[in-house]
Amino acid sequence: MRKKIGYYELENQYNYVIPGSDAAMNATLISALDRKEAIVAYYWEPTWLLGMYDFVLLEDRPFDENIYFEGGCECPSVKVNIVTSNEFAESNPAYVSFLKRYQTSSAMTSEGLAYMQENEELSYVDAALWFLKEAHPELIDQWLTPEQSQKLKEAL
């Protein structure tokens, strides 16, 4: 990230700071936001911090391995795949059907993580119920068959 400051010739406009830990980075960002101070940071997603605060995503050049180590592009993204063994897939076709339909976004995940952060006393189950009942009930119909969807909605 230090090379990115140099690549874009921003040395005279920004102080490059390495907070030292995830908690220190969060505290630095939250403190600046609470004081309404300008701050630029390189962060990952999904995370509760991006779900709780209104950050602006700055665009960079798409990942290019030829200039990445010079700081001239965004970091490579990591694609997440859902996989099972052949044996599991054959013995659990309904579950595999769900996994094929399952789709979410970093923003939705960050939103759920922020809800959990704000409501620390809640369990993961409580957070999942909130997510499906209040935040994104439309996902039920996207992820499940009509019969499964109706059954879940009645249970919720």
**For residues 21 and 23, what is the distance between their CA atoms, to the nearest angstrom?**
5
Q: In whole angstroms, how far apart are CA 62 and each of 5, 66, 72?
A: 17, 11, 9
Phi, then psi, of 95 in degrees rounded to 5: -65, -40
Of 134, 128, 102, nearest in space to 113 by CA: 128
Strands, E assignment, 2-104? none
pTM, two decimal places: 0.81
Q: What is the mean pLDDT of each run of 10 residues along the chain (156 residues)?
A: 89 85 92 90 90 90 95 90 95 94 93 96 94 96 95 93
